[in-house]
Chain A
Amino acid sequence: MNAPVLELLVGGVLLGGLYALMAGGLNLIFGVMRVVNFAHGEFLAIGALVTVSLVAGAQAPYWVALIVVPAGAALAGLVLQTFVIRRLADAPLIMSLLATYAVSTVLVNAAILIWGGGYRGLPGVLSGSVRVAGVDVSVARFTAFLVAIGTSLAVWIFLRSTRTGRAIRSVAQAPELAIISGISVERVRNITFALGSAMAGLAGVLMAPTFASDAQLGSRFLIKAFAVIIVGGMGSYPGAIAAAMLLGILEVFGGYAFGQVIGSALLYLVMLAVLLVRPRGLLGVGARI
């Protein structure tokens, strides 16, 4: 077998950038809320579909979607946090999980009613190709990678160096201590949920030109984002970025060797192995299970 190793490697890294953005948002929310948001994937899917409608349907420029969709996703996240998650703060965890799972179902089926069940592409946006590391890469994919990684890193810097960012981190690490030190946990949760959702929405916008989008896109990507944050360590932001790259590469190579379907199942098996051997994640600092 003469595998085009370089092409696959570049493809994997490009994919990993999107996973990083998607999983980064999910991980941020998990870290602060201790709840996995099962509706996170739908923010991405609906973000992608709205982008298609805006650009192909309403003839809006692509950059409009880059601004409008993340803002809309942030608002949707805030609504979800205010009307569902916050109300379940004192209920058993199973209730929050069931609730986000239900929201996910509602959104998927609403999306099917609006956009239909088929795939929708966005041809002609960011077309052409560039040469990266000796491999031809489409402009759309390369742009998506740059924006995704840029945003992920920007959020990381935000978490480390701003007042609000540090408040988010301290709530994630020790909520009781954060309350004592006068941090408004409620505000931090709202900000986190909005930020994480906006990241999912942005990932959707970035994917629209390269991947065919459909209403069911969310759950496929959610599993991958789960795999990323578990391999990277739940609640660990840099861990998620590194794991996203790793799994992006793994998926592309796995897909090449065993076919697309088994290739994506491979990510799950890796996740399962990590869950069993090292639940804290390969790179994670460890979250309370």
Chain B
Amino acid sequence: MRIPLLILALGAALAILPFVGSEYALSFTVQLLMFTALAYSWNIIGGYAGYTHFGQVAFFGLGAYVGALLIGAGWHWLPAAGAASLAAVVLALVLGGAMLRLKGSFFAIGMYGLARVGENFALGFDGITQGGTGLYLTPADLKPIYAALAVIALALIYGTHRLDNARFGLQLLTIREDETAAEALGVRTTRLKIAAFMISAAAPGAVGALYATYLAFIDPATAFAPMTELTTIAMVLLGGLGTVLGPLVGAVLLSVVNELLWSRFPELYLGLVGVIILGAVLFMPRGIVNAVARRRWRWSAAPRAGLRRLADAVPAADTGRRALPETAPAPRAPDVSVRST
């Protein structure tokens, strides 16, 4: 599938929707775009670099509060969202240097705890955050927020498409596959991980602020909701970890389920998301995108086509110079023992 074409088509559809769709459709799409952005961001660190990230909602929550506080201080929501994004990136930089030295279970625990601590801080520092009461904002017009989210989501899809075909993406994959070996082969894993972590924090920060604007309200339970975290992870896993289209497929599917269940049966919804994650892990760990591409379940990934196309396009070594080391047979030096004592 030609992904840039798909993105253009999506962009066109998203551009038309506000003029033809109902308020309900718009509101549903806002949620969809929000989760699409979160899922693509999670995919970078969780799917490509393979770090089990249970703390994305910490960046989302931080963004929500930074955004809400700035808007409360008189900022327009757009620069407030930018500042929220920046705050999340800075937090990722500060934490990343330390946290990403931890691997596997350690990283998972550290980030899981971070989200809970964020919630505790939002509750505890009630002088700033109003604690459990939450912050109220004056409602903003829905359409510009929708447009901002659409731009973020489309940019992330395109960015992931580029990443998947670039060496940066491959290097993130080497971290997922075997970080020690990658490092021994000269891949600068630490700075790559921190870069990926920062990139993956940018959108959640901005989206958090936009979400607060959209709701015109934020409180600790909403900002740091485990539901946000779980849904995001389930989307990426269901669609396909470390794939270009997986998060989109997962986001669309789960947003529909979310819409049907979340408002009426939140426990049922969250339990179901748990079951979906469990089912995906056990029976379809490669996700829908890979399963469709390979028509096989379980542990088979679909090939990434980008490099192969490049390899087919690169002219064979017919430029006159020899392909790599001199391969012409030369008599082996008869006296190889001269160096020995």
Q: Do chains A and B touch in the complex (CB under 8 A)?
A: yes
Q: Which residues of A contact B105 (CB under 8 A)?
A: 30, 34-36, 93, 97, 234
Is B123 among interface residues, defined by CB-CB distance under 8 A? yes
Expressed in whole angstroms, the Cα–Cα distance for A97 and B99 within the complex equals 17
Most B CB contacts (10 A, CB to CB) among A99, A109, A289 go to A109
Closest Cβ of chain A to B113, distance in Å, is 5
Q: Is A261 part of the contact surface with B, judged by Cβ < 8 Å? A: yes
Kindly identify which residue among B104, B226, B273 contacts A93, using a CB–CB cutoff of 8 Å.
B104
Which has the most chain A C-beta neighbours within 10 Å: B106, B110, B117?
B117
Query: Shortest Cβ distance from A86 into chain B, in angstroms?
Result: 11
Residue A103 CB within 8 A of the other chain: yes
A226 and B109 within 8 A (CB) = yes
Query: A residues 63-109 with Cβ under 8 Å of B?
Result: 84, 87-88, 91-95, 97-99, 101-106, 108-109
Q: How many residues of A contact B (CB 8 A)?
A: 48
User: Chain A at the B interface: mostly helix, strand, loop or mixed?
Assistant: helix
B270:A109 contact, CB within 8 angstroms: yes
Residues of B within 8 A of A223 (CB): 112-113, 116
Which chain A residues lie closer than 8 Å to B52 at the CB level?
A: 93-94, 97-98
Residue of B nearest to A260 (CB): B124
Collect the chain B residues with CB atoms within 8 Å of residue A35's CB: 105
- Bound complex: CA of A285 vs CA of B94, how far in Å? 28
Known: A95-B285, A101-B54. A109 touches B120 (CB 8 A): no
Q: How far is the CB of A107 from chain B (nearest CB, A)?
A: 8
Q: Which of B113, B176, B274 contacts A103 (CB 8 A)?
A: B274
Cβ–Cβ contact A226 & B113, under 8 A:
yes
Q: Which of A36, A112, A219, A261 has the most CB of B within 10 A?
A: A261
- Contact status A262-B120, CB under 8 Å: yes
Residue of B nearest to A97 (CB): B52
Contact string against B for A residues 144-162, beta-carbon threshold 8 Å, 1 for contact and 0 otherwise: 0000000000000000000
Q: B116 to A98, Cβ gap below 8 A? A: no
Q: Tell me if A259 counts as interface (CB < 8 A to partner B).
A: yes
B108 near A97: Cβ-Cβ < 8 Å: yes
Chain B residues with CB under 8 A of A88: 281-282
Query: Are A262's CB and B110's CB within 8 A?
Result: no
A268→B277 contact, CB < 8 A: no
Q: 0/1 per residue, B262-291, Cβ < 8 Å to A?
A: 000001101101111110011001000000
- In the bound complex, residues from chain B placing their C-beta under 8 Å from that of A34 are 104-105
- The segment out of A124-132, A185-193, A241-249, A270-278 that lies at the interface is A270-278
- Contact bitstring A245-289, B, C-beta under 8 A = 1, else 0: 000000000000011011011001101100110010000000001
**8 A-B Cβ contacts within 8 A?**
A95-B285, A97-B104, A99-B278, A103-B278, A105-B230, A223-B112, A234-B105, A272-B110
Known A-B contacts: A109-B274, A275-B99. Give 10 more (CB < 8 A).
A84-B278, A92-B50, A94-B51, A94-B52, A98-B52, A98-B281, A102-B273, A102-B276, A220-B116, A268-B116
Chain B interface residues toward A at CB < 8 A:
46, 50-52, 54, 98-99, 101-106, 108-110, 112-114, 116-117, 120-121, 123-124, 176, 226, 230, 233, 237, 241, 267-268, 270-271, 273-278, 281-282, 285, 299
